[in-house]
A and B are shown apart, each in its own frame.
Chain A
Amino acid sequence: MKNFIDKVIVEPLREVVRNLVAFLPYLLTGIVVFAIGLGLAWLIKALVVKIFKLLKLDAACAHSGLADALKKMAVRDTPAKLIGRTFYWLVTFIFFILALKVMKVPVIDQLLEKFLLYLPNVFVALIILIIGWLLGNFLGRAALIASVNAGVRLSSQLSKGVKGLIMLFAFVMAFEQLGIGRSTVIAAFTIALGGIVLALALAFGLGGKDLARGFLEKRFKKNGDGEPDELKHL
């Protein structure tokens, strides 16, 4: 019976303790590395904030309207603090990875390896989303101004549509990059886009046939009802 207890309980417990004891230095090293990382991250954050404050980044951003744009996106930090915070999390993340690495746990090593190999995809997807957001804003605004100047009544909706479509493209590309539901996302996107085009075609064809006729008449009839302005701007 004693042999049985030794074999089933004591030996495995001893093994666990042995492993724990063997692992403890690595764990401690990991904790120390991470603690150093946290300290360093805090220092770097403080330094970066100070440098950017000295460079008057906040004033420049207020000047250019970027600070207002950040506020509108519910970002409460000043631009200098935001950059400092980004550096803080970057350094923290790097030291977290280092800490996991020095612990030398095979499973974590394998997970880490997979994660690190996947990381570029996340980075590229993030860049795609940022570019999509910037492009969507830019083209949405351009469409808004152009349609207002052309006297289009649904300018605001048109602008939102342009921005939404670009963001949709960006999301599809980002998901494809991440390999999430690749075929499903593309199929859903194709169906959605096809649906939108069909809906628009039906809406214009059926609902707006009189409007379309009126538009074409105005556009191509030389002596239409509305006399053109004789006022010369230049």
Chain B
Amino acid sequence: MTETAPDTAANSPDPSAGLDAVDILVGVPSFNNAKTIGHVVRAVEAGLTKYFPDRRSVLVNSDGGSTDGTADVVREASVDLDAVLLDHRVGGFRKLVTPYHGIPGKGSAFRTVFEIARQLGAKACAVVDADLRSITPEWIELLIKPVLEEGYDYVAPYYMRHKYDGTITNTIVYPLTRALYGKRIRQPIGGDFGFSGKLASFFLGKDVWESDVARFGIDIWMTTSAIANGFKICQAFLGAKIHDAKDPGADLSAMLHQVVGSVFGLMEEYAPTWRSVEGSEPVATFGFVYSVGLEPIHVNLEKMIEMFRMGVRDLDAFYNSFLPGDTLGFLRALAAQRDVKTFAYPDREWVRTVMSFALACHRKAVRREHIIKSLTPLYLGKVASFVIENWDCTADEVERRLEELCLAFEKGKGYLVERWDGEV
């Protein structure tokens, strides 16, 4: 049984008007997700009813002005609990559909969720993407329970993915975030998170809602802010993440600019914190971890290596303005190599490349966007090298290989620390 709160909040400055305090809040940011959001809402409702029947809970759909009837789908979506659960009690589940205000983007949608969480005094919150096809009621348990029952402030997601999926996360974001802040959060930009009401209030108090965080980069911002400010962190294994392709035509360099730019931007803010961190430590992981099968996928290695070569050749003068001589020498030598099978971008050189890009952004040698976008051909070179190296490996072997890359980042961090303030 579901009660749907009247959508009086749609144009109200107080979106939670008319609702009582709640224990759990689940936010679903959306923009034209009518096709998939119904399944997400039903999974959330089933999860809350099954695992938290005694708690008062609310689902908040923070919408960015959808024109495909997303809001109607949310209002009408309901789950037949008798068919889904063998035994259930009627919980205090509510739904709230509200538009968000401010700069268009996921960050602004999250801000509305945080505001409502504070107004309703939510103890535990979660946010899940509206385009998920693989979400199950268990996701809600895994994201909420560590907060509600174990006292954690932040629950990062941990998905099992194909060995070649998430290459930006695997080759840059995860190893760099881990080396900087010392916590082994495997998916720092996962998209689905759990967090405490206290942390929601903390996020809300930060002066970032008119910046790029409101547009993109909210995921890495939340993860980094939670770690760097000493909140209690864990991760939850959610299984496979299957969702609608964000934008099939999305430009890789724009993606890199958004994600890597956010990581580099946070490095400025939290420099005093990460400079003193050495090594890394695992974080508690909830859920039953398992591997997925490895269906062969098509990867155009020749094209990636050709893009790498072209980038090194045409951007040589630009790289020369901020990359150290030995790194540039290595890149030239690798680009000159003709044999695809022996093409290898070693971890040490990759670490040095990424750190040199971070330093160039820090020193503002040239426009930051140009620096980060010029990383694209080198990143493709590293991905090609990674694919060649792990062609016959299993998912577990690839994980071990990524562990080596992470250790290389941890080892190479000294290079970054030494040069951050100096002129070396």
Contacts and interface: CB of A to CB of B under 8 A. Distances in A.
Interface of A: 59, 62-65, 68-69, 138, 141-142, 144-146, 148-149, 151, 153, 155-156, 159, 226-234
Given A232-B166, A233-B167, A64 B310 contact: no
B164 A63 contact: no
A145 B299 contact: no
A115 B276 CA distance: 62
B255 interface: yes
Contact of A149 (B165, B306, B373): B373
Range of interface residues on chain B? 35 or more
A148 B366 contact: no
B370 A141 contact: yes
Given A64-B363, A155-B310, A234 B169 contact: yes
B259 interface: yes
B376 A149 contact: yes
B420 to A, nearest CB: 12
10 tightest Cβ-Cβ pairs between the two chains A and B: A65-B365, A230-B297, A149-B253, A232-B165, A149-B376, A155-B314, A233-B168, A156-B314, A231-B164, A230-B298
Interface of B: 161-162, 164-169, 189, 246, 251-253, 255, 259, 297-300, 303, 306-307, 310-311, 314-315, 318, 321-322, 363-367, 370, 373-374, 376-377, 383, 387, 423
Given A142-B370, A229-B300, A148 B169 contact: no
10 contacts: A64-B364, A65-B322, A138-B367, A148-B310, A148-B376, A148-B377, A229-B298, A233-B168, A233-B252, A234-B189
B363 A227 contact: no
Given A144-B314, A233-B166, A68 B299 contact: no
Given A141-B318, A149-B251, A234-B169, A226 B300 contact: yes
Contacts of A226: 300, 303
A233 to B, nearest CB: 5
B423 A234 contact: no
Given A144-B314, A145-B370, 4 more contacts: A138-B367, A149-B251, A149-B311, A151-B303
A231 B299 CA distance: 6
Given A155-B314, A233-B166, A149 B377 contact: yes
Contacts of A230: 297-299
Contacts of B383: 231
Contact of A151 (B310, B364, B373, B387): B310
A161 B318 CA distance: 17
